[in-house]
Chains A and B, each alone.
Chain A
Amino acid sequence: MASNRRTIEGCFQLMGGAFAGAGAASSELKTVLMSLGVPQGIVRRASIAAFEAEMNVIIHAVAGTLHYEVTPAKIHIDVTDMGPGIEDIDLAMQEGYSTAPDWVREMGWGAGMGLPNIKRNADAFKLDSVVGEGTTLEINIFLTEENYADNT
């Protein structure tokens, strides 16, 4: 019902190198979306995009934040980090291109698929970066009346 509809949001601090904690933000977002009755396919797209975004901060940056906001109209995820920044965004978007160090690649990350995966799962995607300062990423996945059935 329209009167029950509200915005649900969450914010996570991410630390560079903190691999063991990766997935906390995407997992909470997944729980929120499932409780709202969002269809599984959309939940999965949002979870993949959020998890890849978390990993990018953990792999490349010193620290960052992931903030999500769910409204009846959309799932909005924004990620801001203090990191090296991206020199060439077009190149970074190319599947297979990565600047991740070898030890990260040995873990199976850094295959140059993270940003393309995010883009593929998002309805709208915006990446901005300043070399030496950091990167901001904005992801939107749109919802419709039918797939946001907040019964709470």
Chain B
Amino acid sequence: MLTIHDIVEKLGLDVKAQGDLQKDVAGCYISDLLSDVMANSKDHDLWVTLQTHPNVVAVAVIKGISGVIITNNRTPEAETVKKAEMEKVTILTSPHSTFDIAGRLYQLLMSGSDK
């Protein structure tokens, strides 16, 4: 199974807040609606979103999310980074769009699960 560290390397992501980079990534959930993530994401998912505010961290903690990828060159708010470091939630950023990140994650995670 791929770890957060593997994903960071393969996708060239910036680490804005570092939790446990050795955490396994089981899958991925993509949504900008926080209640949707609370309802439908799974343990050890990566969460891809445009949201940058501190509530993202609270949702990630409750759901056991392995890491959050913020796309489209958006930067997490300072308070978000602070909270994430406190809660050991990994926050990553990418200049690429959600579509691009999703496509690459799909390839990586699906090929990982087939073999």
Contacts and interface: CB of A to CB of B under 8 A. Distances in A.
Interface of A: 19-20, 22-23, 26-27, 30, 44, 47-48, 51-52, 55, 107-109, 111, 113-114, 117, 120
A47 B55 contact: no
Given A48-B62, A51-B62, A20 B54 contact: yes
Contacts of A52: 35, 38
Given A20-B79, A114-B35, A108 B51 contact: yes
B39 A22 contact: no
Given A111-B33, A113-B39, A117-B38, A22 B58 contact: yes
Given A27-B58, A113-B33, A107 B53 contact: yes
17 contacts: A20-B79, A22-B54, A23-B55, A23-B61, A48-B38, A48-B62, A48-B63, A51-B58, A51-B62, A107-B34, A107-B55, A108-B51, A111-B33, A113-B38, A114-B35, A117-B35, A120-B39
Interface residues of B, number: 21
Interface in B53-85: 53-55, 57-59, 61-64, 79
A47 B38 CA distance: 10
Nearest to B35: A113
Nearest to B33: A111
Nearest to B58: A23
B55 A19 contact: yes
Contacts of B51: 107-108
B100 interface: no
Contacts of B54: 19-20, 22
B58 A44 contact: no
B41 to A, nearest CB: 11
